[in-house]
Amino acid sequence: MPTLSYAEETNPWLAAAARFDEAACRLNLDDGMRKVLRSPSREITVHIPIMLDDGRLEVFTGYRVQHSVARGPGKGGIRYAPDVTLDEVRALAAWMTWKCAVVNIPFGGAKGGVICDPTILSDSELERITRRYTAELIDFIGPERDVPAPDVNTNERTMAWIMDTYSMHARHTTTAVVTGKPMDLGGSRGRPEATGRGCMLVTLKALRRFGIDPADASVVIQGFGNVGGMAARLMSRAGFKIVAIIEYDGAVYNAKGLDIEALLRHRRETGSILEFSGGEDMDRHEAMFLECDVLIPAATENVITSRNAAKIRARILCEGANGPTTPAADDILQSHGVFVIPDILANAGGVTVSYFEWVQDRQGFFWNEDMVNTRLAEIIESGFDAVVTYGDRHEVNNRIAAYMLALDRVAFAIRLRGIYA
């Protein structure tokens, strides 16, 4: 792999491209197919004029990238953040294509984002942004075209606004246009826990591979939001020993295991995980390098890079976040014998249950939570087995195996369909 500057190393689009290139080379894909798989199908930029609460008129920029619809409608979240970029959205859309293909669900990949700071916007301003953004995309989204979902700084309320706006234009209620909705508007049971549950399921599979009892496994989790917090809660209930939780303002550690429910209550009451009576505070950077059986980065991109990968002392790295490890860091982790469960497999629980929600909305029949969780386990565990088997057969690490499997499946679908001209 060529030497990259740190800015290049942490560029998500370049990271996705580097993994793509290696997988495509090992699959011996011809140049034409590589061009098709590498190129987004559609990139949409919209400029959204919004009247703010104080009467000022402001214009926000939004994106929706549809990377591939070869295997089904586009699928991917919408994020609101001041640092959203087109490169980031491109990369996330491509990752969604590969993620859906890895777990073999009939979606392609898409992603969206609006450049804004939700912390300084009122609820009514966010609603106006959401509805105008949806209206601008009305010809490009839909149950058979592209199905958005929540992401950073968006939630089930945001999805309700999108669903309602789309339905008003369609002149009938269309619940399947988005997933991650409130239960009363066609949401699925098990959806809030799905990504964290998927992380637990693949971790259990990895531990069995190494003959480690979950009760003996020490776990460090970076991020205590929906993914990390839910993974911590579910893994704690399953008998794992969660020794450290890392957040933006610090970390809390207990070698005997943290009481996760008590820690969640403490954060609700104080707004922070720090000064928790059931553990000791420590530096958040140092906590990443604790010796443990499992490390779950479940917060943001680019937390493990060439600058710190050699310090990781986990046996298993389960990527709850999208893109937490750079390509350069992958090489270092592999040389240190770290078993990486890549993001496009590890955090696919969310999109899998989103697929279930879409199916339930379309058939008008809803499942109980046991059925959702049982079917989630079947798909995620099958995906883990497929990736590991692929890696063993081709003598590549899990990351490249996952990309190879995904590219192979998408390329196969394109060949079956042919090229329309």
Instruction: Report residue 304: phi and psi, to 5°.
Output: -120, 115
| C-alpha dihedral sign at 300, 265, 159, 59 | negative
Among 212, 217, 285, 211, CA closest to 247: 285
Q: How far is CA 138 from the centre of its chain?
A: 24
The span from the CA of 352 to the CA of 376, in Å, is: 7
Q: From the CB of residue 216, how many other CB atoms can be counted at a distance below 10 Å? A: 11
Edge-first strand listing for the sheet containing 146-150:
42-51, 57-68, 109-115, 74-81, 146-150
The single residue of 75, 99, 111, 181 carrying the catalytic annotation is 111
* CA atoms within a 13 Å half-sphere pointing along the CA-CB vector of 255: 2
Specify the length of the chain in residues.
421
Among 283, 275, 220, CA closest to 250: 283
Instruction: Report residue 21: phi and psi, to 5°.
Output: -60, -45
CB 23 within 8 A of CB 407: yes
Judged on CB neighbours under 10 Å (0-12, 13-18, 19+), 179 is buried
35 counts as catalytic: no
Residues 6+ apart with CB under 8 A from 244: 220, 221, 251, 252, 253, 254, 258, 282, 287, 290, 292
DSSP code of 402?
A: H
Active-site positions read 111
